[in-house]
Each structure stands twice: as C-alpha cells, then as structure tokens.
Amino acid sequence: MDIEHIKINLEKRYKKNGLIYSLGNPLSEKELNLAEERLNLILPNQLKIFYKCYNGLKVDKPGLQIFPINDLELNNDKIINFALMDNKHMIAFDTSHLNDANQWNIINPKNNYLITLTFASFWSNKIWAWIDKHRAIWQAYDASDTG
C-alpha cells in the first residue's frame, strides 16, 4: 500500500462508519534531520516516508495513535515507543539492530512480542486489522478471540 492510501482509507471509513481521525502535517527534510540528531539515530526510510506525509495519526474509536516525531524518545533499552493502541497498549521500535528488511522490529515493549518487521507493514496491514476487526495486534492472534 502506498503511503497516500492511509488518508484515502481513513476517509472511506469516515464516510462509511463515521470514523473520527486526524493526521499530522507533513514534516520537512530539515525537521526529520533535527529529529535524527535529537534521537542520535538514522531513521529507516519507511519511517521517514510516513513522517514526510503525516506527522502522527490519531483515531478516536478504536483508539489508535501514532505519535508525532517530537514525542518519540529513545530509552536506555534502545526502544522507541511510537504508538498507542486501545488507549493502553504501547507499540515500539526496537532500535538495537536493523532486521533483514533493513528496518527496526516493531514490538510490544511489555513482552517483546514481535508485531511486524517493517513500518510499511504496520501502516498497510496492522492498523487496519485493529481499526476494522479490532484484532489485538500487540499479542499473538487467537482465532477464537472476537474482540
């Protein structure tokens, strides 16, 4: 899914179901460079692509928030909490290494559950599993779990 489809898909859900959402304004290359300096990290390209289009995303119900870049902080364990699901489940980047996709693993920092290997997978697949199906992407999928 191309990054532009995030807004298109959110708008479709707004028209169909009244989904309430907001998208942050795009960041400039200079703002991204400042964020990299502040974090002392080079952001993977997929992350840069997202923030060049949307500096954060918020959906009211079901609760989903991808934080604006200035809210990202690197902790001592090389974890960056970047999203909040269902208003209580943190989602994070594990910046300790680049995976085979040359990205940071996306994990549940509470238990190190691997959610996905790429940020593109997160924006093109995982957020819709949550928004549309209320699938708790931060834990192992249980087919018997309907909510």
Give the full edge-to-edge strand order of the sheet including 105-108.
Answer: 21-23, 57-59, 64-66, 79-85, 89-94, 105-108, 113-116
> What pLDDT score does 120 carry?
95
Give the pLDDT score at 141: 76
Q: Give the mean pLDDT of 88-98.
A: 97
**Residue 100 and residue 81 in contact, taking contact as beta carbons nearer than 8 Å:** no
Q: What pTM was estimated for this model as a whole?
A: 0.93
* pLDDT of res. 77: 87
Kindly give the residue spans of alpha helices, DSSP state H, lying in 1-147.
Answer: 4-17, 29-39, 45-53, 119-121, 127-133
Above 90 in pLDDT, residue 123?
A: yes
The rounded Cα 31 to chain-centroid distance in angstroms is 19
Q: Which residues contact 8 (CB under 8 A, 6 or more apart)?
A: none
Name the residue ranges covered by the structural domains of the chain. Answer: 4-133
* pLDDT beyond 60 at 144: no
**147 has pLDDT over 60:** no
Q: CA 49, CA 94: separation in Å to the nearest integer? A: 19
Q: Kindly report the CATH class assigned to 4-133.
A: alpha beta
